Structure 1
Amino acid sequence: MTNVCSRALLATVLTTTLAGCTVFPAREVPRQFALAEPEVTAKERIARSVILRVDTPVAASPLDTSRIVVRQDSGELAIYGGSRWRQPATDLVRDQLIEALRQSQGFTGVVNEISRSRSDWSLLTDLGQFQVVYENGSPVATVRLDAQLMDERSRSLLSTRRFEARQASTDESLEAVVAAFSRATNQMAKDVVAWILEQPAP
């Protein structure tokens, strides 16, 4: 009985002791950021009879992750510690494009690649840059997208174009950097919308 009581007392002491300290360091929960929604003014036009599919952009590491990337003066890529995008950067850009294209009201429908809907055109893209670049000691959000517009019925390429957008951050805080990314991505999305709407209706 004495041994049982001693073990119970020891367990109580250990529990009380461990409650006041951390044996292993607590893992820091990263801050998550999202882009502001794009703002595209709908044109006064009749929506063309096109269902447009927007595929998720292709990107190499680390742009295919949710890390917030910064390109240093040496050319080396680094990341902002303790923070990340809410989604991988490729998903963020895809969703921005879809929302901007829907806001334009220029199409019968705009869907993503997992939609079971039949599509007439598809937008295929490569995300070449989605990072902060320091210029003269100040951070600049830089986005570059190579786009291909394809006719799904004929499997022919309708048009290709490279889009680039750059927006200087007001300061080096993460909040200001994210706001600069939102402005740059919004500008890029507007340019993509205008380019697609320039294409002859089928």
Structure 2
Amino acid sequence: MRAYILYCITAFMVLGCSSKAPSVNEYTLLSPPIFVKKNAPKSSKSLTVSSVKSLASLSTKNIIYLYENGESAPYLYSRWSDTPSVLIQRALLSSLNEENLFASLSPATSSAQADWVLESDLNAFYHRFSKEASEGYIDITYRLIDARTKRPLASKRFMISSPSSSMDAQGGVEALKKSTLELNRQVIQWLNTLIKETK
């Protein structure tokens, strides 16, 4: 009897050690950098891209899905490599650097003094579900500030959505990547227009 009990305990311990929790998949928004020959900057201004301010629910690494009724929750075994705010800021900095709009470009952590500051408020960054489909949805407002006078020069709200190829975390990530690329394209177009207007 004693031997049987010891056998059961040993078997339980082996099973307990061998059963592992599912691994967590980690995703990023950043694409590999594209090295291209740059033309002269389109503006003599310098720009600082401030840290993106966001809702508390978007201040973690969770990948969040959202239903039509407003109910939301994080995917259990998938997450971002950093918070959406940080990923969006880095993605925009990368796109701006490739576009070469400004004489110099710096993140909020830099001590460099810039002519303009780009601030932003992130209101939505979700894998959003409807009855028969899903999409990567972003809602963010950007403000361009004169760093010397602290006066706002312009502001614009961007609401971007891209269809998802699947109704899971991976599909949501791919859709949000597409939405982020489209967001960057529209923000750069907006900034380009402002540069022309302020010359």
Q: Distance in 1 between matches of 2:97 and 2:37?
A: 9
1:136 aligned partner: 131
Q: Which residue of the other structure, out of 149, 161, 167, is the alignment partner of 1:154?
A: 149
2:27 aligned partner: 33
1:20 aligned partner: 14
Q: Distance in 1 between matches of 2:120 and 2:106?
A: 15
How many percent identity over aligned positions? 21
Q: Distance in 2 between matches of 1:108 and 1:24?
A: 57
SS in 1 for 2:53: coil
Task: Compare 22-31 and 58-67 and name the one that shifted more.
Answer: 22-31
Mapped contact 1:128–1:145 kept (Cα < 8 A): yes
Q: Does 1:95 align with 2:105?
A: no
2:43 aligned partner: 48
Shift of 1:18: 8.2
Q: Distance in 1 between matches of 2:138 and 2:165?
A: 17
SS in 1 for 2:76: coil
Mapped contact 1:140–1:180 kept (Cα < 8 A): yes
SS in 2 for 1:155: coil
- Structure 1: segments with no counterpart, 5+ residues: 1-12
Task: Compare 122-131 and 51-60 and name the one that shifted more.
Answer: 51-60
Shift of 1:71: 0.9
Mapped contact 2:115–2:147 kept (Cα < 8 A): yes
**Equivalent position amino acid for 2:66 in 1:** R
CA shift in 2, pair 1:62/1:48, >3 Å: same
CA shift in 2, pair 1:170/1:39, >3 Å: farther
Shift of 1:17: 7.0
Which has the greater radius of gyration? Answer: 1
Q: Does 1:76 align with 2:97?
A: no
| Matched residues, number | 188
Q: Distance in 1 between matches of 2:130 and 2:33?
A: 27
**Equivalent position amino acid for 1:72 in 2:** Y
Q: Distance in 2 between matches of 1:185 and 1:39?
A: 15
Q: Distance in 1 between matches of 2:119 and 2:51?
A: 8
Mapped contact 1:38–1:186 kept (Cα < 8 A): no
Q: Does 1:105 align with 2:105?
A: no
Q: Distance in 1 between matches of 2:177 and 2:59?
A: 18
TM-score normalised over the length of structure 1: 0.82
RMSD over aligned Cα atoms = 2.7
CA shift in 2, pair 1:166/1:42, >3 Å: farther
TM-score normalised over the length of structure 2: 0.83
- Structure 2: segments with no counterpart, 5+ residues: 1-6
Mapped contact 1:50–1:108 kept (Cα < 8 A): yes
